[in-house]
């Protein structure tokens, strides 16, 4: 049975969060569930981390992966499966990445089709005791192609799936699930304060306003990051009060209302359009290539991306790739499809 590693990191660990508030307790919950099922079952364990968009599923999966991957012969973390799956030849590229990760080389069997990939994975994965994370799964086909059944994996292997879609998981027969806990009021206030004030507590004059923001943000880590960053750019108390008023009058009071509030505050139409262009088809591309594409389209690219990064609506990772949380991307694409933020149906977004 594996034991959780110490808090020291290694070069193979994944970045988890700037401010990992509430992460450790949830990681320990997942690890305890894994240990319990390791004791009960001899066969590989498939476990899901389930929750709504922006609840921190990927963050917890990364932190769990960092804790346990040192105890396995091989490992793979397939980030944002749903997005990669939609790209040209995305299905095969995911299978190829999985195989390359496990055998630590690119000089390995080339997968030509999804069906041939299944056969190759079924033959080669059982040879090692592995830990595999499939992040942001939303289709049964994805699970069939990447972890067809427990027979694909060696004894003692662990497969962790993150998803917001309960029905897909039921159809696949996943039995062991950890449902994400919302941040409590104290965790929420601390996380918000780090992003809004660069410290773990609200500055004195804004304690009451900060508590109100937290109440209306619903304990979603991503919402707190975005609204905290929004708050950070508003220095005057009157401006920060206006945030509360807008949240109070929001009809749904959910995560997507927070996104809409922050999107609407991008008063520069060019920055809004850059957000929509990135959400549409630029996620995962090199930052410099995105700048060129946006400039060719007439945008003030450097300034727009700088603003979006500051607002936590877009990221640039260590490999210089443009990123966007899938919930933000869903929102942006739905705005493009329906024509405007005012027409977005929030109930449909929650189930996407």
d(CA 200, CA 186): 10
Close Cβ partners of 280 (under 8 Å, ≥ 6 residues apart): 332, 333, 336
Q: DSSP 3-state assignment of 157?
A: coil
For 130, how many CA atoms within 13 A lie in the half-sphere containing its CB?
27
350 vs 352: CA distance, rounded Å = 6
The pair phi, psi for residue 77, each rounded to 5°, is: -125, 110
| Residue 131 near residue 72 (C-beta atoms within 8 A) | yes
The helix, strand and coil proportions of the chain, stated in percent and rounded to the nearest 5, come to 55, 10, 35
Q: Which CATH number fits domain 23-179: 3.40.50.300, 3.30.230.10, 3.40.1260.10, 3.30.10.20?
A: 3.40.50.300
Tell me if 23-179 shares its fold with 269-350.
no
How many CB atoms sit inside 10 A of residue 256's CB? 26
Those residues whose C-beta lies under 8 Å from the C-beta of residue 33, and which sit 6 or more positions away, are: 47, 176, 178
**269-350 CATH pick, 1.10.10, 3.40.50, 1.10.260, 1.10.3470:** 1.10.10
Instruction: Render each residue's pLDDT in the chain as its tens digit; 352 residues.
Output: 555 554 455 678 999 999 999 999 999 999 998 887 665 556 788 899 999 888 999 999 999 999 999 999 999 999 999 989 988 899 999 999 999 999 987 778 899 999 999 999 999 999 999 999 999 999 999 999 999 988 899 988 999 999 998 777 777 877 788 999 999 999 999 999 999 999 999 988 888 888 988 888 888 999 999 989 988 887 777 877 877 777 777 666 667 778 888 888 887 899 999 999 999 999 989 999 999 999 999 999 999 999 999 999 999 988 899 999 988 998 999 888 877 555 555 444 554 5
CB 302 within 8 A of CB 270: no
Tell me what pLDDT residue 6 has: 47
Backbone φ and ψ of 289, nearest 5°: -65, -40
**SS3 assignment, position 322:** strand
Query: Cβ distance 71 to 2 under 8 Å?
Result: yes
CA distances (Å), 141 to each of 63, 118, 138, 145, in order? 26, 11, 9, 6
- Going from N- to C-terminal start, the domains of the chain cover 23-179, 185-249, 269-350
pLDDT score recorded for residue 173: 74
């Amino acid at each position: 049975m594996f034991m959780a590693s110490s808090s020291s990191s290694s070069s193979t660990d994944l970045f988890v969060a700037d401010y990992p508030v509430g992460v450790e307790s949830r990681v320990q919950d997942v690890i305890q569930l894994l240990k319990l099922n390791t004791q009960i079952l001899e066969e590989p364990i498939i476990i899901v981390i389930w929750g709504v968009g922006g609840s921190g599923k990927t963050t917890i999966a990364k932190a769990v992966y960092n804790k346990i991957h040192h105890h396995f012969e091989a490992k793979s973390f397939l980030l944002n499966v749903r997005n990669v799956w939609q790209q040209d030849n995305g299905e095969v590229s995911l299978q190829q990445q999985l195989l390359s990760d496990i055998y630590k080389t690119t000089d390995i069997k080339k997968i030509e089709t999804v069906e041939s990939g299944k056969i190759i994975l079924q033959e080669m994965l059982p040879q090692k005791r592995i830990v595999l994370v499939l992040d942001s799964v939303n289709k049964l086909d994805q699970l069939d192609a990447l972890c067809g059944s427990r027979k694909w994996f060696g004894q003692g292997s662990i497969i962790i799936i993150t998803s917001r879609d309960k029905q897909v998981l039921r159809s696949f027969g996943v039995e062991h699930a950890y449902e994400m806990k919302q941040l409590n009021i104290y965790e929420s206030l601390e996380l918000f304060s780090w992003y809004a004030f660069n410290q773990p507590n609200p500055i004195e004059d804004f304690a009451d306003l900060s508590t109100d923001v937290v109440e209306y943000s619903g304990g979603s880590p991503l919402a707190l990051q975005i609204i905290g960053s929004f708050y950070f750019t508003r220095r005057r108390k009157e401006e920060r009060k206006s945030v509360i008023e807008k949240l109070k009058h929001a009809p749904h009071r959910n995560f997507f209302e927070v996104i809409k509030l922050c999107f609407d505050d991008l008063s520069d139409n060019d920055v809004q359009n850059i957000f929509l262009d990135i959400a549409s088809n630029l996620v995962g591309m090199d930052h410099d290539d995105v700048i060129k594409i946006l400039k060719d389209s007439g945008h003030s690219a450097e300034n727009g991306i700088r603003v979006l990064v500051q607002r936590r609506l877009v990221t640039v990772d260590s490999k210089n790739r443009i990123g966007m949380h899938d919930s933000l991307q869903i929102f942006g694409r739905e705005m493009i499809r329906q024509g405007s933020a005012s027409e977005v149906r929030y109930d449909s977004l929650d189930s996407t």
